[in-house]
């Protein structure tokens, strides 16, 4: 993307990467390959050396109904940003981004744009950290750009060097818990989408998936050799522990699995100590 004025819609192929990462926060509107405008923010590392801060960036993929300006997302970015540059963005249909949420399908294009922007800002290494819906998106994104198998001809600028998936589902259409049954009502019913738009500030697409995208558990085997960390709380009220275990098993020993005692679901439940460990793992795994 270009380094034009804040609020400018930028395209990923317009400018070469910067030689050094910026030292000040930035705000941009990015354009996805399917034409959706995505709001994004960049925060340089606060406590790292120039070498570390300039080489590694973490791109945070929030959960459903989140957004880059939501307090829980800012907290995540703040903890990760102690030692590493951080890119946050709002998925389509969320916050100031355009379009409508497809609840994990076309959101891979949003993550593509954010990762490309991080590289254009001068970061040689990029790790993705996703929560819940964002956790499924980082898995699908890594599979698309992995060496083992690609769903499309991936662009090298959008590849990732390490992947962290927190509180993600293993499979689609899961309705085994009360929170997920409520979420399915929100997404599939006209009245639910009205509640989502005006109550949760999330604009949800009315069309069903066609075709159905690869599920997270189908995506995981295609991620290697990119390092993969799966994090899940043993008190997650949305997805029980069979989900992270299925994901880890699908990796055939490649993924690392952390089951966090007492943790609930996604960003709200992730303690600062856990986020710091995730950041350290990402920095080490990304090489």
Specify if 270 maps to a domain: yes
Q: How confident is the model at residue 1, as a pLDDT?
A: 32
- Please tell me whether the peptide bond between 233 and the residue prior to it is cis, using omega within 30 degrees of 0: no
Q: Are 223 and 148 in contact (CB under 8 A)?
A: yes
Helix (H) or strand (E) holding 54: helix 50-55
Specify if 147 maps to a domain: yes
Q: How confident is the model at residue 8, as a pLDDT?
A: 39
Query: Which domain covers residue 92, as residue numbers?
Result: 9-174+213-285
Residue among 183, 218, 220 at smallest CA distance from 204: 183
pTM equals 0.89
Specify if 187 maps to a domain: no
- Split into its structural domains, the chain has a count of 1
For tokens 């990119």, name the residue.
226
CATH number at residue 31: 3.40.50.1820
Q: Are 164 and 278 in contact (CB under 8 A)?
A: yes
Specify if 207 maps to a domain: no
Specify if 168 maps to a domain: yes
Q: How confident is the model at residue 54, as a pLDDT?
A: 54
Specify if 43 maps to a domain: yes
Residue among 142, 146, 172, 179 at smallest CA distance from 269: 179
What strands, in cross-sheet order, belong to the sheet with 125-131?
9-10, 26-31, 37-43, 85-89, 56-61, 125-131, 162-166, 228-233, 256-260
Specify if 179 maps to a domain: no
Residue ranges with strand state E in the chain: 9-10, 26-31, 37-43, 56-61, 85-89, 125-131, 162-166, 228-233, 256-260
Q: How confident is the model at residue 49, as a pLDDT?
A: 52
Specify if 198 maps to a domain: no
Q: Three-state SS for 247?
A: helix
For tokens 């098993």, name the residue.
249
pLDDT tens track of the chain, all 287 residues?
A: 333 333 334 444 445 555 566 778 999 999 999 999 999 999 999 875 544 445 899 999 999 999 999 999 999 999 999 989 999 999 999 999 999 999 999 999 999 999 999 999 999 999 999 999 999 999 999 999 976 544 444 456 789 999 999 999 999 999 999 999 999 999 999 999 999 899 899 999 988 888 999 999 999 999 999 999 999 999 999 999 999 999 999 999 999 999 999 999 999 999 999 999 999 999 999 98
């Amino acid at each position: 993307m270009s380094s034009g004025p804040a609020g400018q819609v930028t395209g990923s192929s317009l400018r070469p990467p910067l030689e050094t990462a910026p030292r000040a926060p930035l705000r941009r509107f990015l354009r996805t390959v399917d034409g959706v405008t995505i709001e994004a923010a960049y925060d340089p590392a606060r406590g790292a050396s120039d070498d570390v801060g300039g080489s590694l960036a973490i791109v945070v993929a929030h959960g459903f109904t989140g957004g880059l300006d939501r307090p829980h997302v800012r907290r995540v970015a703040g903890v990760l940003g102690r030692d590493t540059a951080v890119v946050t963005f709002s998925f389509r249909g969320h916050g100031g981004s355009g379009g409508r949420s497809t609840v994990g399908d076309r959101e891979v294009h949003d993550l593509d744009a954010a990762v490309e922007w991080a590289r254009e800002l001068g970061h040689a290494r990029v790790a993705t950290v996703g929560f819940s819906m964002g956790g499924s998106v980082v898995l699908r994104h890594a599979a698309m750009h992995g060496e083992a198998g690609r769903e499309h001809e991936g662009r090298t600028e959008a590849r990732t060097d390490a992947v962290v998936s927190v509180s993600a589902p293993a499979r689609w259409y899961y309705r085994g818990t009360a929170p997920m049954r409520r979420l399915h009502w929100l997404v599939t019913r006209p009245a639910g989408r009205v509640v989502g738009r005006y109550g949760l500030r999330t604009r949800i697409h009315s069309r069903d998936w066609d075709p159905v995208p690869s599920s997270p558990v189908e995506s995981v085997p295609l991620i290697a050799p990119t390092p993969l960390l799966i994090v899940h709380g043993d008190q997650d009220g949305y997805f029980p522990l069979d989900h992270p275990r299925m994901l880890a098993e699908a990796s055939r020993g490649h993924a690392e699995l952390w089951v966090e005692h007492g943790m609930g679901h996604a960003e709200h439940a992730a303690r600062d100590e856990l986020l710091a460990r995730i950041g350290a793992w990402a920095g080490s795994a990304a090489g």
